[in-house]
Amino acid sequence: MDQPYDILEPQQEKSDFHSLPSRGPGDVADENDCEPVDDFVLMKTAHTNKHTGEIDDGVVRDVISLIETQKEDEETRLSQLQTDLDAASTASTHLSRIRINEIVESAYVDPEGLMDQLKDKDDRIAALEQKMADQEAGWEAKRQQNEQMMEMMNRMYPNEQFP
């Protein structure tokens, strides 16, 4: 009961993406024999169902597919570039982990940003719907006015044919 409170440590910062403790790249690299961590492999592993071996979340599955496609395209481009520069060279055309991590980060889209874009589009759609309703009301008023004018002209000139 008289235990000092200074033995309690503050909680680590939490990241928004996975609610895991946030760590800097140096922390993760230290745990990986000073090699940079492959974010793509980490993302794929974190979201793969351990029982089925499949990625259940459709959005994550699409992002991973996009990253794989970009990775293959980049490897093909580098391979072609290497072939064009020096066909006899034995230099590796494999992407570095840093480049793969850049591809992973570029493919990630902030969900809050998407929600803001969606709200903006919803607002624009609502404004356009209101504008269209106002136009239709104006057209209806003009149609009624035209009908009244035709009735008046028919009364004033009963022997004439109007279109």
More confident residue, 144 or 82: 144
- Find out whether 15 and 24 touch, Cβ atoms under 8 Å: no
**pLDDT confidence tier of residue 16, bands split at 50, 70 and 90:** very low
Give the tens place of pLDDT for each residue, 22-43.
Answer: 455 555 555 666 777 777 788 8
Question: Has this prediction a pTM greater than 0.85?
Answer: no
Query: Distances from the Cα of 19 to the Cαs of 16, 23, 79, 95, in angstroms?
Result: 6, 12, 39, 29
Whether pLDDT at 76 is above 90:
no
pLDDT for position 57? 85
- Find out whether 57 and 47 touch, Cβ atoms under 8 Å: yes
Whether pLDDT at 89 is above 80:
no
**Among residues of the chain, what percentage have pLDDT more than 90?**
23
Domain chopping of the chain, boundaries = 13-108, 110-163
pLDDT for position 41? 82
Whether pLDDT at 10 is above 80:
no
